[in-house]
Structure 1
Amino acid sequence: MSGTQPTVTLSGGGADDARTVVRALEGTFGAPDERPGDGNATVHTATFAGETDGSAADGGGEGAGRLSAPVTVTVQGSPEAVRRASETLARVFTARDDGAASGDQEQERELHLMP
């Protein structure tokens, strides 16, 4: 299951936008450990514990909602988890891929999501 545990860091927009992005990923990865709160945070983080039973994996994010402002999302995890998260977000939102960095066992990718 460690290969399916991406961590997403979201900046830009507000807490509602962060929750919208997290909801978009729930169909692929299941519920995160914690959803973004209402506070005045400028950066939100969510770690997903696993994946769904597969029934929503290809349709993840449908009906997630719209963004009110641009959001920068950094996805960290195994290359497979980062790929799946990136594909889900690109399917649901207008996304610009701002590049990736690979480590020994993990990858990091930054996406810029537009409303």
Structure 2
Amino acid sequence: MPDTQLTVTLSGEGVGDARVVVRALEQAFGAPDELPSDEKATVHMATFTGEARAEGSPTAPGHLSAPVAVTVQGAPGAVRRASETLARAFTTRDEGAASGDQEQERQLLLEP
């Protein structure tokens, strides 16, 4: 199993903001299995299963039009790295976390 198995659930204004968040995570995790695409959906998901990328200077992924609630779930290292990546790219508020034996989950609110 790859060390970066990560599932991201996003809810907010629309698919455009979901794509902006996913693009920010691509810098650390590579491309997701699929980009959010359903214009009518109110909740979007992306799964990253590749190997972690080397850390570098993040590029600006774009701007959010509204707040986006994000839940990242996966291996503890992947969740930590996703949280750090999002905190560098956006104004981020930690909304809580839960830990299991082998997985973690963290809720974040990303603000425009």
TM-score (structure 2 length as normaliser): 0.94
Residues 52 and 81 of structure 1, relative CA distance in 2, 3 Å threshold: closer
1:10 aligns with 2:10: yes
Measured on the aligned residues, the alpha-carbon RMSD in Å equals 1.3
Asked whether the equivalents of residues 28 and 51 of structure 1 are also in contact (C-alpha less than 8 Å), the reply is no
Asked whether the equivalents of residues 27 and 52 of structure 1 are also in contact (C-alpha less than 8 Å), the reply is no
- Structure 1: 5+ residue runs without aligned partners? none
- Compute the displacement of 1:53 (Å): 4.2
Identity of aligned residues (%): 69
Deviates more, 1:105-114 or 1:1-10: 1-10
Residue 79 of structure 1, aligned match among 76, 79, 90: 76
1:44-83 correspondence to structure 2 within 5 Å: 44-54=44-54, 57-60=55-58, 62-83=59-80
1:80-95 correspondence to structure 2 within 5 Å: 80-95=77-92
Question: 1:70 is aligned with what amino acid?
Answer: P
Paired residues, what number?
112
1:40 aligns with 40
Q: Which runs of 4+ in 1 moved over 3 A?
A: none
Q: d(CA) in 2 for partners of 1:42 and 1:86?
A: 22
Residues 81 and 52 of structure 1, relative CA distance in 2, 3 Å threshold: closer
- Compute the displacement of 1:100 (Å): 0.5
Question: 2:99 is aligned with what amino acid?
Answer: S
